[in-house]
Structure 1
């Protein structure tokens, strides 16, 4: 989500993609939400507007729909999904290092955790809710739809155990706060690597210059959290208020708006540098302040807990398979061209020079992929709308992200006086963030385990790009030795089996994504995205996490799925299908926790 990468609030939750052409960072090919799309609409983000039936538009009772890269069908029966890879899931991708599920030797190349609002009365798993709150407890950061979807999938897959999704706790912060904290080459008074708890209580030991405010972390959190109450009270008003500052980068907002008057002028520069180094990632403060607030709204929310999926997040997209007929999904279709033919669109993919014609096309691919395509005449017109679309495709920013996984003979980090169970370590060394797995709780520490030895974004991730996996693993292991000198890592480390492929990924190198996830620069929400989405008369529709306010989260892709399904149904004058979806039992069940019902007209006001 973006901007908080600290010891306590390690907000490096960026989830990238792989093996899929043009897939937004969540569920891609599985987004065919026949029964689910209806319920998603409620969580519309800003940038999502109320579509209208075009004037004099005749009803198309059975429009032929093409979903490039993934999609949603909304009860339509004449649709096809063109998927570049041979799998479903997109940027929800679990890397398995063993063929035996029970070994738990896996790591999440993409999405790895799910934010959930706490309800003291709710103890159910798999998205279930309790009788006391009836599923209506407030999920103030807007991710509840993900859990409703999981619950719904478990219902329809109740006789298919292989597709059941079991949620387990994701330990965001180690209970003892023993995650290592190593910045500025400073150690504690015993010359040990600091723990996060020690760092919190001993600012003077951190090695910052005197011009860094002792309250730099609290100041940063306050700069973001001052918007949270408005977002909680009225998501529509809160987003509109936040977008008044969309023209600011994180750096410019802190320097020009927030910090003056709170700390001496001469301290501002170094205080901001310390904030970015410990609470974010190198270079991210050049991006939009709105991104940082929405990140913080998820990561810093006081009423928050975290979940993940037992045996891997890949089980989420896989659970959609029973709801889809194979005939609807065309695998290994690498799209390279869209062409207008009358009021229809011809879609071309490699290996088929003729392509196929569709009434409506839904493009869910990351815009870096779309940038390589031949685009239709519609986008060559001189109108402002078409000009903005081309600008958006070229300019909207995607961030970098890299993950390096290591296999060890045992969970050495869970042993000793300063043991770590879950949570993370944070450092200014190249590895930046270490994520300790939560899914081994209760297992013997002597069993083999997978550790996310380095999780990086932005400029930190880019520094890995020129080197081979072997070189990056070597560097990662070297940095881990610094953080864990108590362990003999040369003895503990064991390379992954060659048959299971690489153990690291740098998302910008993936031709299916050309970047990890959308993370906009200043004014890109208001000047590009919102204007790009305003054209309800086009038969080419845009979806994916980059079209939502929740960048880099599964919920962003789900929100966009709802919006674009409604968009297509209204454009083809099938409003009755939309209403049928909303009034169905599944629609009512899936809509019960939606909060963004009042965001439809934000785009129209931009």
Structure 2
């Protein structure tokens, strides 16, 4: 746009390109605006931030009592194929290896498959031939994903909440470009118990951080904290930390979806069509991408889609009405 519409030089466009790790205008305008402005009046979208006590795992854990009697774990699906049953109806067959060393498939047939894993994982599966657009979205050259790393350091006291300029939530920007930002807890404020400071880095930086050992990454973050808060922060660090780089997560191999130019507009309608009795859901299939809310919205859309496939129109309408699938009209 800068080159074609505003006739900017290569030097200007390169300066803009390298000023941020966001290379799509939509990301910079909406995504970063919501993140930095906390959904307030200065942001370009409606965002309300919520905290879940004891962490986001509690959100997924809340579903377990409802599905535990039919939940099967420790199966990495490596093949999806449509099957015609004895009544000439299409079903789906999922196949997996019993172990890394046992390469003889085990399989189970289902009426429908709802595929929630990101395309970074389906790309390792044997798949049937989908329509051109959906097939290209799934392909390695298709829908774009990005990685991220998190490091949380535990301190014996919430020293950042004390002094003349206390910090309650939000983030600091240390001089280290690699560290990027340090995030502070937004709940349990002014409590006497320990607290943590979180480092989060997405995009290309996180791919490079994957080469770090845990110890090196932790010390890099601690150095940045000390640079902002002073040497006493080093003495208050308990030595406890958690580190996660999503590229190293065997179940996803990525952190979040970051569509390239026009990919949302092109690919999203394809996710709303059921092919080979397979429905694709997940944050990467939602119009908004990247957030927990996107994953939940896509689950609503996938549920509505399945109910319509089964001819349960009234039930689909009720799910849509109750669970806020606002872009769906039935």
Normalised TM-score (structure 2)? 0.83
Q: Secondary structure at 2:197's aligned position in 1?
A: strand
Is 1:331 the counterpart of 2:78? The answer is no
Is 1:462 the counterpart of 2:200? The answer is no
CA 1:305–1:275: 2 relative to 1, 3 Å: farther
Q: Deviations over 1:384-439 (max 9, x none)?
A: x2x33332112211111111111212222222223212110014512111001122
1:474 is aligned, of 205, 219, 239, to 219
Contact 2:145–2:254 (Cα < 8 Å) also in 1: yes
Q: Which runs of 5+ in 2 are unaligned?
A: 85-89, 99-103
Q: Deviations over 1:275-318 (max 9, x none)?
A: 52xxxxx3x21xx3334444257445426543212222222222
Q: Give the structure 1 partner of residue 16 of structure 2.
A: 272
Contact 2:272–2:305 (Cα < 8 Å) also in 1: no
Task: Return the alpha-carbon distance in structure 1 between the equivalents of residues 125 and 227 of structure 2.
Answer: 46
1:441 is aligned, of 155, 180, 189, to 189
Is 1:295 the counterpart of 2:31? The answer is yes
Is 1:548 the counterpart of 2:286? The answer is yes
Is 1:349 the counterpart of 2:88? The answer is no
Contact 1:388–1:531 (Cα < 8 Å) also in 2: no
Q: Give the structure 2 partner of residue 407 of structure 1.
A: 154
Q: Deviations over 1:548-591 (max 9, x none)?
A: 11211112112211211122222232324324x45xxxx76x35
Is 1:558 the counterpart of 2:296? The answer is yes
Q: Give the structure 2 partner of residue 526 of structure 1.
A: 265
Q: Give the structure 1 partner of residue 115 of structure 2.
A: 363
Contact 1:401–1:458 (Cα < 8 Å) also in 2: yes
Contact 2:214–2:243 (Cα < 8 Å) also in 1: yes
Q: Which runs of 5+ in 1 are unaligned?
A: 1-252, 277-281, 380-384, 497-501, 602-606
Q: Give the structure 1 partner of residue 250 of structure 2.
A: 511
Q: Give the structure 2 partner of residue 578 of structure 1.
A: 316
Q: Give the structure 2 partner of residue 450 of structure 1.
A: 196
Contact 1:518–1:545 (Cα < 8 Å) also in 2: yes
Q: Give the structure 1 partner of residue 168 of structure 2.
A: 421
The residue correspondences of 1:113-124 to structure 2 (distance < 5 A) are none
Give aligned pairs, total. 310
1:390 is aligned, of 135, 147, 151, to 135
1:596 is aligned, of 309, 326, 329, to 326
Task: Return the alpha-carbon distance in structure 1 between the equivalents of residues 275 and 74 of structure 2.
Answer: 30
Q: Give the structure 2 partner of residue 372 of structure 1.
A: 124
Offset of 1:325 from its aligned partner? 4.3
The CA RMSD measured in Å over matched residues stands at 2.8
2:58 is aligned, of 299, 315, 328, to 315
Task: Return the alpha-carbon distance in structure 1 between the equivalents of residues 182 and 33 of structure 2.
Answer: 23
Contact 1:254–1:272 (Cα < 8 Å) also in 2: no
CA 1:274–1:355: 2 relative to 1, 3 Å: closer
Offset of 1:339 from its aligned partner? 1.8
Task: Return the alpha-carbon distance in structure 2 between the equivalents of residues 574 and 356 of structure 1.
Answer: 25
Normalised TM-score (structure 1)? 0.47
Q: Secondary structure at 1:512's aligned position in 2?
A: coil
Q: Give the structure 2 partner of residue 104 of structure 1.
A: none
Task: Return the alpha-carbon distance in structure 2 between the equivalents of residues 364 and 272 of structure 1.
Answer: 35
Q: Secondary structure at 1:596's aligned position in 2?
A: coil
